[in-house]
Chain A
């Protein structure tokens, strides 16, 4: 089954403790992206990657890092999480940047930073 897999689904952590949210897709998609979803603010893009070793900032990149060493994986790294990073995070992949190709989203990771 074609899918985007995120782990973990739920995570509660403390301020400053480094964490990684993993994302993997099995569709051989070149484009991958991370979004966060917050009430009243909608989905906002954090980082995206056009292909292996090519990443770029989205609209809200502060406090996050990403890497794209393999085509299928696109982990999101929070080096020093803070409470304002409490959010619902989604990874997505696509055949292209989104001009004409739909995104396939993961099921989300609900992160709470205390």
Chain B
């Protein structure tokens, strides 16, 4: 089983600040996905990145896939309380997705 390490595990910042969370692996992934999960609900897909070096933007969220396709980052600009949640990265494989343990993000008003 391929492992994905996410950091930090917990992050609490003030509204308006910027932040970056990381997803790292020793293995190469064909694709990498980011999900956001709110308490009591299932994860919801944010983005899929496929090509090494790829950058995708979703409003204030910027996702990057490492050149070697072993790591990814999620950058949030001007964080808002609505961004609060558990952010999960997942690596794509033939059998399905392998998930990291997630980053718990709290944005305080």
A positions within 8 Å CB-CB of B: 4, 31, 33, 35, 40-45, 48, 56, 58-59, 90, 92, 97-108
Q: Are B88 and A108 in contact (CB under 8 A)?
A: no
Q: A100, A103, A108: which contacts B50 (Cβ < 8 A)?
A: A100
Binding site for A on B (CB under 8 A): 1, 30-31, 33, 35, 40-45, 48, 50, 88, 90, 92-102
| Partner pick for B94 among A4, A45, A97, A103, CB 8 A cutoff | A97
Q: How far is the CB of B49 from chain A (nearest CB, A)?
A: 10
B-chain residues with CB within 8 Å of residue A44 when the two chains form the complex: 99
A-B contact pairs, 28 of them (CB 8 A): A33-B96, A41-B101, A42-B99, A43-B43, A45-B96, A56-B95, A97-B92, A97-B93, A98-B31, A98-B90, A98-B92, A98-B93, A99-B30, A99-B31, A99-B94, A100-B50, A102-B33, A102-B45, A102-B48, A103-B33, A103-B35, A103-B45, A103-B97, A104-B45, A107-B40, A107-B41, A107-B42, A108-B41
Contacting pair B42 A97 (CB below 8 A) = no
Among residues of A, the one whose C-beta sits closest to the C-beta of B44 is: A105
Q: Which of A4, A35, A42 has the most CB of B within 10 A?
A: A42
CB distance from A31 to the nearest CB of B (A): 7
A-B contacts, CB under 8 A, total: 71
Q: Please report the C-alpha to C-alpha distance between residue A44 and residue B90 in the assembled complex, in whole angstroms.
A: 11
A108, B42: Cβ atoms closer than 8 Å: yes
Report A79 CB to chain B, min CB distance, Å.
23
Once bound together, how far apart are the Cα atoms of A21 and B96, in whole Å?
Answer: 21
Report the minimum CB–CB distance from A77 to chain B (whole Å).
Answer: 19
